[in-house]
Amino acid sequence: MTNQNKAGLLALLTVLFWGSAATAFKLTLKHIDIISIIFIASGASFLIFLIAGISGNKFKNITFRELGKSAILGFLNPFIYYLILLKAYSLLPAQQAQPLNFIWPILIVLLSIPLLHHKLKLFDAVALLISFLGVLIISTKGNFSLMKINSPLGVILATSSSLLWALYFVLNVRDKRDDIRKLALNFFFGFLFSSILFFASGHSLPTQIKGVWGALYIGSLEMGITFLIWIKALKLCPNSSFLNNIIYLTPFVALIFVRLFLQESIHYSAVLGLTIITSGIFFQKMSQKK
């Protein structure tokens, strides 16, 4: 088996795990609250990255400046990002929250203008408009005549989580440290902030076993092991475009999980809006290649 084939299999495994995240969020929120989920999940993911970093001898010569950088990144993700994302999932059906959280590839284009000094091209602007149309369809459930949004706060939070992830992504592009070293240090601070919030708000360890297992699943797979799988796939495959195309299957796989395990009746607007958002992303990517 060639390295590209191995990378493709790892990318499909990544799609499977990340595609299950929306369902895991909704199921876990039935049993424990958002702060408890973030505390348990960020602790589990930090432990995974710590083990990966120690086994790879990634923690030599850590500087105070590096710790400061990781404190900022860890505050963004996992701390604030998952606080906002999980709140959005508590307010919206998974079939709405997940696609709205998937517009980050387009938002990266906007953030790259001030942060990476990229120029906004015509193709980028068109791609943004296409994806924005998809967001409108999902937010209004396709009812443009009334332009009624059932949960405006949920929509704002879900799209804001995409903006936060895009910001985190762009800042990581500028950060040239080893990936596992970055993740371990970032998630250390994410877990630290989550722990402070958890104990300061008077929480105690939850006793609902299903909720604890759900949070551990989120931390271990959605936030932890899957990132390591994705990093391995990128190292095996020199053609990152090949892998990026596979990863765009994630929101569609997520809808399958939502239908099977959450029993949500998938509204046509979710599929249509998601297809339009993905089309905008592909349009932007193809323009970059040209």
Question: pLDDT tens digit string along 94-121?
Answer: 998 998 888 887 788 788 878 777 777 7
181 CB-near residues (< 8 Å, 6+ apart): 53, 58, 59
For residue 87, what pLDDT band results from cuts at 50, 70 and 90? very high
CA gap 183, 58 in Å, rounded: 11
Considering only residues 126 and 221, tell me which one the structure prediction assigns the higher pLDDT: 221
* Tally of structural domains, the chain: 1
Peptide bond into 114 cis (omega under 30): no
Which pLDDT belongs to residue 162?
A: 92
pLDDT digits (tens, 9 = 90+) for 7-61: 889 989 999 999 999 999 999 999 999 999 999 999 999 999 999 999 999 999 9
Q: Is the pLDDT reported for residue 146 higher than 50?
A: no
d(CA 208, CA 212): 6
Task: Write down the H helix ranges in 20-63.
Answer: 21-29, 34-55
Region 281-286: mean pLDDT is 73
- The residue segments making up the domain with residue 137 are 3-289
Tokens for 39, please give them: 């505390």
State CA 173 to chain mean position distance.
16
With CA atoms as reference, report the closest residue to 95 among 23, 186, 181, 46.
Answer: 23
Q: How does the average pLDDT of the chain come out, rounded?
A: 88
Question: What value does the mean pLDDT take over residues 149-153?
Answer: 80
